[in-house]
Chains A and B, each alone.
Chain A
Amino acid sequence: MSEVRNQDEVIYQVHDLSVNLRRRGQERVILKSLSFDVRKEECLSIVGPSGTGKTTLLRALAGLIPYAGSVRYLGETLDGPASDVVLVFQDYVNALLRWRTVQKNVALGIEGRIPRDQCQERIDEAIETVGLQNYRDSYPWELSGGMQQRVQIARALAMKPKVLLFDEPFGSLDAMTREGLQDELLRVRSVFQATCVFITHDIDEAVYLGDRLMLLSGSPASLSFEVDIHLGETRNQISTKESGEFLSLRHQVHEQMRKAHGASQSTN
C-alpha cells in the first residue's frame, strides 16, 4: 500500500488497526490488523459481505469506538469524534429526529454554533443540494425512505465536513431510489469537495461510486484486496455500467470476494 505520501494528501493514516467488541460478556476480535490510507478528496469504497465488520471499521474511523493500533486523522491520533467528520448512518429512521421538521433536522449539527443568518444559508444550500426545497417543513415520517436518507445527507453537508463516512446509506432502499441517490451523491461530491469513505456490500455500487476500492473479508476481518478505479469524473448508470472498465473491475472484485470467502470457509 501507500508508503511515503505528501502529508497534505492523506486524511486518514490507519496502521495495524484492530477492534475487539464485547457481546454478551464475550470479547470478539472483529477487525484484525488493518493498514490503509484515506487520501484527500477521494471516494474510498470498502466492500465486503454482510457481518464482516464494515460498520465497525467506519465507527472506528468516526471515533465512536475504542480501537487498538493507530488511526491518525490529519496527522493526529484519533481519540473521539473529530471535527469535520460526519457519519451518515444506514438506519435513517432512527438517525433523524422525528419531532423536528426537515429544516430543523438539517440544522441539528450547526445551530447555535454559527451566526443565525449564516446557519440559515447553509441549511438552505444543503437542502437544495439534495433537492428537498419543497419539503423544508415536512416531518421525516411524512417522507419516503429515499427522501429521509437525503435529509440525513443534507444534515451532514450543512456541517461542511472534510470527510463523509457512509455506512451503507442506500442499503435499505429499493433499486430505483438507490440508483438515483448514487448519482446524486456523485453530483454532491463534485460540488462539495469532501473526502468520502463509502461502505457497502453491493459490489456494483462500490465500483460505481469509488475512486478506489478495498475488500474487507474474513473473521476476524482484514483487508484482502485493493484496486484503483478509473471511471472518470462523470459517470452514468447505463453507459458506465456497460463499460469494459466497469465490467472488468466488477469481475475482479467478485472473484476476489469469492476467493476470500472460500479461504475463510476452509479455515472454519
Chain B
Amino acid sequence: MAPPNRQIRLIGWIAPTILVVLWQLSIDIGLIRFRYFPTPVAVARALYTIALSGALYKNTAHTVLVALIAWAIASVLGVAVGLVVGLSVPLWKGVMASIDVLRSLPIIALVPVGVIIFGFTLKLEIVIGAYAAIWPTLVNTVTGVRQTRIELLDVGKMLRMSALERLRKLIFPSSLPVIMVGLRLGLGLSLVLTVVSEIVGTPHGIGNALISAEQALHPGQMFAYILVVGLVGYLLNGVFLYAARIFSPSERSREISR
C-alpha cells in the first residue's frame, strides 16, 4: 500500500509548487503590479521574522487554545443535547424545526451581537467559537441516534438491557461515526470563528495579528499569518482523524473496503 500512497503524495506537491513558482515569476517580471501583493519569498521572509520575534508562537498558541476550548464546550453540549433530542421522539418533533432555523443563520452575522454582549474579550471568542461548533455536532448526534437500526434495538430488548445499557452499548457506539463527522466539522468551524472574532476586534491571536499586519502595511506578514491559519486548520483536522482512527477500529474497515 505504501508505494502508491507515497507516489500520490509526491504528485500532490507538484501543483502547489508550480503555483508558487508562477506567483513569484509573475511579480518578478511585472505581470502583476499591485503595491501590496508580496512575492512568496517576501512571505517566507516575513514568516521568519515573526517566528524569530516570538509573535508567531504567541498568536498561534492563543488562537489554537481558544478554538480547542470552544470546540470542547460545543462538543460536550452538542453531544449531550443531541442524545436527549435524538432519543425522545416528542422532543425531536418539537425542537428540530427550531434547530434547523437557528443553525441556518449565518454565524458571522451574530458576531456583532456577541460584541455588544461581551465586548472584545476572551469570552466573546470562546462563545462565538462554541456557538459555531455546536450545530454540526448537535445535528449529527441527533441524526446518528435516529439512524440506529431497529434490529440493534431489538437485540437490546432481547438481551433485556436497561435503557442506560442500550444507550451506552448500542445507540451511542452505533451513532459514533456520524457524531465524529459532526465533531470534525465543528472543529473547523470553531477555528474559523475564533479567527473571525479576533479580526473583528479581540486584541489577541492570529486574527488580530493578521489585521494588525494589514493596518501596518506589512503584506508579507499578513500572508504569513494566512498561511499559518491554513496550516493550523489542516493539522487540527489531521490530528482529529488520526485519533479517531485509533479509537474506532471498525471505521478502518470502511476505508479498506472503499
Number of interface residues of A (CB under 8 A): 21
Within 8 A of B (CB), among A88-144: 89, 91, 94-95, 97-99, 108-109, 139, 141-142
In the bound complex, do residue B158 and residue A64 qualify as a contact, i.e. CB atoms below 8 Å apart? yes
Question: What string of 1s and 0s marks CB contacts (under 8 Å) between A58-85 and chain B?
Answer: 0100101000000000000000010101
Within 8 A of A (CB), among B145-196: 149, 151-152, 154-155, 157-160, 169-170, 173-174, 176
- Report if B250 contacts A (CB, 8 A): yes
In the bound complex, do residue A83 and residue B154 qualify as a contact, i.e. CB atoms below 8 Å apart? no
Q: How far is it, in angstroms, between the C-alpha of A267 and the C-alpha of B249 when the chains are bound?
A: 55
- Report if B248 contacts A (CB, 8 A): yes
Contact of A64 among B152, B157, B173, B250 (CB under 8 A): B157
In the bound complex, do residue A89 and residue B253 qualify as a contact, i.e. CB atoms below 8 Å apart? no
- Report if A87 contacts B (CB, 8 A): yes
In the bound complex, do residue B151 and residue A95 qualify as a contact, i.e. CB atoms below 8 Å apart? yes
In the bound complex, do residue B155 and residue A89 qualify as a contact, i.e. CB atoms below 8 Å apart? yes
Q: A91-B151, A94-B149, A99-B248 are in contact. Are A108 and B159 (CB under 8 A)?
A: yes
Residue of B nearest to A90 (CB): B151
In the bound complex, do residue A139 and residue B154 qualify as a contact, i.e. CB atoms below 8 Å apart? no
In the bound complex, do residue B151 and residue A89 qualify as a contact, i.e. CB atoms below 8 Å apart? yes
- Report if A159 contacts B (CB, 8 A): yes
Interfacial chain A residues near B159, Cβ < 8 Å: 86, 108-109, 159
Residue of B nearest to A108 (CB): B159
Contact of A94 among B152, B158, B173, B176 (CB under 8 A): B152
Q: How far is it, in angstroms, between the C-alpha of A139 and the C-alpha of B250 when the chains are bound?
A: 8
In the bound complex, do residue B176 and residue A99 qualify as a contact, i.e. CB atoms below 8 Å apart? yes
Chain B interface, >50% SS class: helix
Q: How far is it, in angstroms, between the C-alpha of A62 and the C-alpha of B155 when the chains are bound?
A: 11
In the bound complex, do residue B157 and residue A95 qualify as a contact, i.e. CB atoms below 8 Å apart? no
Contact of A139 among B149, B151, B253 (CB under 8 A): B253
Q: How far is it, in angstroms, between the C-alpha of A141 and the C-alpha of B251 when the chains are bound?
A: 11
In the bound complex, do residue A62 and residue B169 qualify as a contact, i.e. CB atoms below 8 Å apart? no
In the bound complex, do residue A95 and residue B155 qualify as a contact, i.e. CB atoms below 8 Å apart? yes
Q: How far is it, in angstroms, between the C-alpha of A62 and the C-alpha of B169 when the chains are bound?
A: 21
Interfacial chain B residues near A97, Cβ < 8 Å: 152, 169-170, 173-174
In the bound complex, do residue B253 and residue A108 qualify as a contact, i.e. CB atoms below 8 Å apart? no
Q: A83-B160, A94-B149, A109-B159 are in contact. Are A64 and B170 (CB under 8 A)?
A: no
Residue of A nearest to B159 (CB): A109
Q: A91-B151, A94-B149 are in contact. Are A99 and B157 (CB under 8 A)?
A: no
Contact of B250 among A87, A109, A141 (CB under 8 A): A141
Q: A141-B253, A142-B253 are in contact. Are A62 and B158 (CB under 8 A)?
A: yes
B209 to chain A, nearest CB (A): 43
In the bound complex, do residue A95 and residue B176 qualify as a contact, i.e. CB atoms below 8 Å apart? no
A143 to chain B, nearest CB (A): 11
Q: How far is it, in angstroms, between the C-alpha of A98 and the C-alpha of B175 when the chains are bound?
A: 12
Known: A91-B151, A95-B151, A108-B159. 20 other contacts (CB 8 A): A64-B157, A81-B160, A85-B158, A86-B158, A86-B159, A87-B158, A89-B155, A94-B149, A94-B151, A95-B152, A97-B169, A97-B173, A98-B253, A99-B173, A99-B174, A108-B169, A139-B253, A141-B250, A142-B253, A159-B159
29 A-B residue pairings within 8 Å (CB atoms): A62-B158, A64-B154, A64-B157, A81-B157, A81-B158, A83-B160, A86-B158, A86-B159, A87-B154, A87-B158, A89-B151, A89-B154, A89-B155, A91-B151, A95-B152, A95-B154, A95-B155, A97-B152, A97-B170, A97-B173, A97-B174, A98-B253, A99-B173, A99-B176, A108-B169, A139-B250, A139-B253, A141-B250, A159-B159
Chain A residues within CB distance 8 Å of chain B: 59, 62, 64, 81, 83, 85-87, 89, 91, 94-95, 97-99, 108-109, 139, 141-142, 159
Chain B residues within CB distance 8 Å of chain A: 149, 151-152, 154-155, 157-160, 169-170, 173-174, 176, 248-250, 253
